[in-house]
Amino acid sequence: MCGIVGYIGSKNCVPILVEGLKRLEYRGYDSAGLGILSNGKSTIVKKKGKVSELEKIIDGKNLIASIGIGHTRWATHGLPNEINAHPHPNSDESILVIHNGIIENYRNLKTLLQKQGYEFKSETDTEVLAHLIDSFYKMGNTLFKSVRLALAEVEGTYGIAVLSKNEPDKIIIAKHGSPLVLGLGDKENFIASDINALIGHTTRVVYLEDGEVAEVYNDRFYTKTIQDEEIKKEVFEITMKLDAIDKNGFDTFMLKEIMEQPESVLNSMRGRLLFDEGTAKLGGLEEVIEKLSKAKRFIITACGTSWHSALVGEYMFEQFLRVPTEVEYASEFRYRNPIINSDDAIFFISQSGETADTLAAMKEAKRKGVLCLGICNAVGSTIARESDAGVYIHAGPEIGVASTKAFTSQLVVLALITLLIARKKDLSLIDGQNIVKEFLTIPEKVKKILLLNDQIEKIADEFKHVDNFLYLGRGYNFPVALEGALKLKEISYIHAEGYPAAEMKHGPIALVDENMPVIFIAPKDSTYDKIMSNIEEIKARKGKIIAIASESDDRIDKIVDYTIKVPDTIRMLMPILTVIPLQLLAYHIAIKKGLNVDQPRNLAKSVTVE
């Protein structure tokens, strides 16, 4: 949600800022703007809509400056329009502020500032920051100190960047609960809410932690806490290349990422499988593996697609580890005062590693002294840094808002964790080696499923005009039904629901008629006969049936309207395969409806506010 970019150096910052904003478009936004300092003046340009619309305005203004900040806004307080777009200035536009997050006590602060004579033009919480910083600046404080003093009054989350035409040689940045990274160059420095905006400019980055404020010049920076304590920051190297965030000839990022899954699932398991020992090697868990093998309960907490992968993880943990496992929505976990014991272990799953609710859940768990383990994709993300231990999924950058390859890679990593702990407990060498063998077949099986793309596109053409879908699965494939329904909702705006197949008789079957398409995830496993009975029940009510079935299954073809066949594998790995046709089906339906699958309405890639 929202995006921040900034530049200070000797180059014209305007094209750098625009390029950075374009690289952050995938995060979700509804307006964009930038602010620059030049010749003792501040200039703000803002526009509702896409960055391309902002760029049209900029092209006609011949703007040149060596310091500036840019922002893409996802509306929280106030409608998406030019007035509410960032940057927000103080009264004389000498101070400019951009902000990600939510200021929870902004109403009280606004009332106090209005009593001091400040007038507000927008409906946003961010404008409060501009005036609050100004109020401290007018007391004779430096900009750096004014920002620190202002933030000491603030409750909520923020990632901010601040300029002042009275101190035009610096940018002040600060973070609490919303990601912010500083990119270090040669007599130039960059600021962003996501390292994607920095790729191609620098490989050296500094991650701000919560409660930190930095004063950034073109050739140096200083960092303090809000309480004025100096901090020495570590510099990290990033290795990501530009082609990793390009479409590489595909029409959309989503299709590119679906088609990358043979490589992404391979990368998730690369170097981590030990056939001779029938186990997995996960360096990030080495120091805690004894604790994990003795845990009395596992909790997995996540949001959205990651929550669906957590549900699959629950099946894995309970089947192979025989340890009670609970899956929690992070947004609920953080507020309901959960019962946590010292011998529990809690996994936190987040593609971005910055999901606000998941981070808050982790902080609550850490406060209670329990073992906290991160599973995320983004290297250097907050969850990766703050967890006690964890595993990267190594899926590569995922730009499309609707997660695809990150989901399958999360499943791979959960299966690797299961194998590792199971071998520490009572899984035999032979059984472990059989699982490793099957792991190694998965990339080729994924590749084989992707060859069905044309077939799936034809099925999509039949259903692009429907209003509702029902997705049904059992066991390991119940979470796949949930994920398939979510993908369709996210990008095609068609209402869809996922259910355990047996639960359809407890309500959803009332919806079934000749106009209701029903998707069954029905591979040949221990639930096959039961799900075939469910298919017959839908068939008797004239529902249109699409089945995701095993290649070896000839029986199912006779009773369903459409079949999409996937290779067989063991139960714990089957969701990696059965979900891919559902990703492609959702994709093609949305494309045939003329929709933007990479940036679906109202959604953001990284949900950094509640």
* Catalytic sites, residue numbers: 2, 605
- Please enumerate in sequence order all residues whose Cβ is within 8 A of that of 573, keeping only pairs 6 or more positions apart, or say none: 411, 415, 438, 439, 442
Query: Which stretches within 153-279 are classed as H helix?
Result: 253-259, 261-269
How many CB atoms within 10 Å of residue 157?
22
DSSP H or E stretch at residue 470: strand 468-473
Question: Phi then psi for 463, rounded to 5 degrees?
Answer: -125, 15
Structure token digits, residue 59: 């092209």
Question: Phi then psi for 106, rounded to 5 degrees?
Answer: -65, -30
DSSP H or E stretch at residue 137: helix 126-137
CB 122 within 8 A of CB 84: yes
- Please enumerate in sequence order all residues whose Cβ is within 8 A of that of 496, keeping only pairs 6 or more positions apart, or say none: 468, 469, 470, 471, 484, 485, 486, 488, 489
Triad 398, 403, 409: Cα angle to 5°: 75
Structure token digits, residue 287: 């120091």
Cα distances (angstroms) measured from residue 302 to each of 67, 329, 410, 480: 38, 6, 12, 16
Structure token digits, residue 187: 């007599």
Q: What span, in angstroms and rounded, lies between the C-alpha atoms of 352 and 605?
A: 8
CB 16 within 8 A of CB 201: yes
Query: Which stretches within 425-553 are classed as H helix?
Result: 429-450, 453-463, 478-492, 528-540
DSSP state letters, 587-605: HHHHHHTT--SSS-TT--S
Task: Give bridge partners of residue 47 from the DSSP assignment.
Answer: 32
DSSP state of 456: H
Residue type, 448: K
Q: How far apart are the first and last CA of the chain?
A: 11
